[in-house]
């Protein structure tokens, strides 16, 4: 149903389920701050629910059929789950797809330098950020360092009580007259987003003694040499846990809602799908925030190749049948949209904006400047989805991101649409999207879970 505020419709049982889902989600956010960490969590959850590694299944030459559950991991940064139904070729698949990468600061390949007895890690920001958001805030460092011999060192510093954190400094207000006259886009420059990581010199060292001390520490504690930054993926993210927000605890403030607030209910719904008639599929991809390119982004052929592997394991190997399977599929591109913000009301067209507490948001199209670059979902498909959502009592709303010509954004929707399948954007309204701490309503998280489950069960 198109809903007004959904909170007032909840009974005790709904509230209990909503709080349980929210608590699980907050733990997911705390443990999954990067695409690699999210992939690990998703695989761990899937295994508990009887999912097997598709690579192992195919290596053994095992046959797949109805009721089989498999997962496929792409370079540790993306993962796809399949629960096989009756007729994968003619029924296609019910696909829900979210991304698990989020905006942040990536450490450069040659990052470490000393300047005036302070040591920094140089960064290049990832995804769309307001650069001034990332100064004077505790940052944690997550990722991997891979040594030439293949040893992989996993890093997570700044999350546990007692861990040190890192930060980018900002110019003090007292002498910031000129800085404050700059436009917001340059008030903090991208090249100035360097993270302070040390200030204590190594005894007996003359030149760059602080850098020498940091390098010694990295060597002693982690076995990392300076050159090892070349083969590392280290991400600086806001340090700390997701929190309930508001006197009424109706909201969640957290890092990476975009798009983990869709990934988590998608995963939860997928785990509850039991022997579906139509094959259900959950995609969790990387690199959406930089345009879905690269081997782990949605534009990679990985998904198609995995579908080929599954069909092959089912004794189906014709191109025609692969095409049919893809074309006959339906997809929810599970991504966030902008929540209406009364403080910036003039940037929205209110009746076509997503409101907190009004449920799952469908966006027929996204894009910018005349819907440019967007998928545009079919009316017939939307009608079918209305029927499913109504049948399962899911509260939903429709929205565009902001007023016409105010800007815009994109998702992975157009990439799946290349196969000729039905695709629509469908996710959660977020306040302060892409800020270090974004906010969502718990009720929208709950309605999304209900909506994704209804779709996966009978899309
Ligand atoms: Mn997104
Ligand atoms: Mn985004």
Contacts 24+ apart (CB under 8 A), 13-20: 14/446, 17/446, 18/442, 18/443, 18/445, 18/446, 19/442
Domains and CATH numbers, the chain: 6-102+255-458 (3.40.630.10), 104-238 (2.30.250.10)
E strands along 267-344, which residues?
A: 279-285, 330-333, 337-338
Ion ligand 1: residues, CB < 5 A: 258-259, 335
pLDDT recorded at residue 206: 86
- What's the pLDDT score for residue 369? 87
Give the CA count within 13 Å in the CB-facing half-sphere of 307: 26
- Spatial CA neighbour of 95 closest among 321, 421, 355: 421
- For the chain, residues with pLDDT lower than 70 are 1-3
Give per-residue pLDDT as tens, 279-307: 999 999 999 999 999 999 999 999 999 99
Tell me the CA distances in angstroms from 48 to 51, 178, 272, 379, one per residue in order.
7, 57, 12, 38
Judge whether 452 and 261 are in contact, CB under 8 Å: no
Q: The whole model's pTM is what?
A: 0.97
Instruction: Tell how far the Cα of 102 is from the centroid of ligand 1, in angstroms.
Output: 8
Give the whole-angstrom CA distance, residue 357 versus residue 397.
Answer: 10
Would you state the pLDDT for residue 3? 66
CA of 336 to the centre of ligand 1 (A): 5
- From the CA of 215, how far away is ligand 1's center (Å)? 36
| Ion ligand 2: residues, CB < 5 A | 258
pLDDT at residue number 336: 97
Q: Distance between CA atoms of 439 and 331, rounded to whole angstroms? A: 26
Structure tokens given for 82? 């399949």
Q: How much is the pLDDT for 380?
A: 97
Hey, what are 251's tokens? 């909201």
């Amino acid at each position: 149903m198109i809903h007004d505020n959904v909170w007032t419709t909840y009974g005790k049982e709904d509230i209990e389920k909503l709080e349980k889902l929210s608590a699980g989600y907050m733990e997911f956010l705390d443990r999954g701050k990067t695409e690699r960490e999210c992939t690990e969590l998703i695989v761990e959850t899937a295994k508990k629910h009887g999912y097997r590694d598709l690579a192992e299944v195919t290596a053994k030459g095992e046959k797949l059929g109805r009721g089989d559950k498999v997962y496929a991991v792409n370079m540790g940064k993306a993962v796809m789950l399949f629960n096989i139904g009756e007729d994968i070729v003619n029924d296609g698949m019910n696909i829900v797809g979210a991304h698990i990468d989020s905006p942040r600061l990536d450490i450069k390949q040659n990052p470490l330098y000393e300047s005036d007895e302070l040591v920094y890690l140089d960064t290049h920001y990832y995804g769309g950020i307001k650069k001034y958001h990332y100064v004077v805030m505790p940052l944690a460092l997550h990722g991997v360092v891979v040594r030439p011999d293949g040893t992989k060192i996993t890093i997570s510093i700044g999350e546990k009580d007692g861990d040190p954190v890192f930060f980018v400094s900002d110019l003090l207000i007292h002498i910031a007259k000129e800085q404050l006259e700059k436009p917001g886009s340059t008030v903090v420059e991208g090249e100035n987003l360097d993270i302070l990581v040390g200030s204590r010199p190594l005894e007996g060292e003359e030149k760059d003694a602080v850098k020498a001390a940091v390098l010694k520490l990295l060597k002693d504690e982690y076995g990392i040499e300076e050159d090892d930054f070349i083969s590392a993926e280290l991400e600086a993210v806001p340090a700390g846990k997701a929190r309930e927000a508001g006197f009424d605890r109706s909201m969640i403030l957290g890092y990476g809602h975009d798009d983990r607030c869709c990934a988590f209910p998608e995963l939860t719904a997928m785990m509850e799908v039991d022997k579906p008639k139509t094959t259900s599929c959950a995609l969790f991809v990387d690199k959406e925030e930089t345009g879905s390119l690269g081997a782990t982004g949605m534009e990679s052929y990985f998904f198609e190749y995995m579908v080929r592997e599954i069909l092959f394991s089912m004794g189906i190997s014709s191109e025609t049948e692969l095409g049919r399977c893809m074309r006959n599929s339906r997809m929810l591109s599970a991504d966030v949209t902008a929540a209406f913000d009364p403080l910036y009301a003039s940037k929205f067209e209110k009746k076509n904006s997503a409101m907190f507490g009004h449920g799952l948001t469908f966006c027929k199209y996204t894009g910018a400047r005349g819907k440019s670059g967007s998928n545009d979902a079919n009316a017939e498909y939307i009608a079918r989805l209305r029927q499913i959502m109504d049948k399962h009592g899911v509260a939903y709303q429709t929205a565009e991101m902001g007023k016409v010509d105010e800007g815009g954004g994109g998702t992975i929707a157009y990439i799946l649409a290349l196969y000729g399948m039905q695709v629509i954007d469908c996710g959660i309204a977020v306040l302060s999207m892409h800020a270090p701490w974004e906010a969502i309503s718990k009720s929208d998280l709950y309605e999304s879970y209900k909506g994704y489950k209804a779709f996966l069960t009978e899309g």
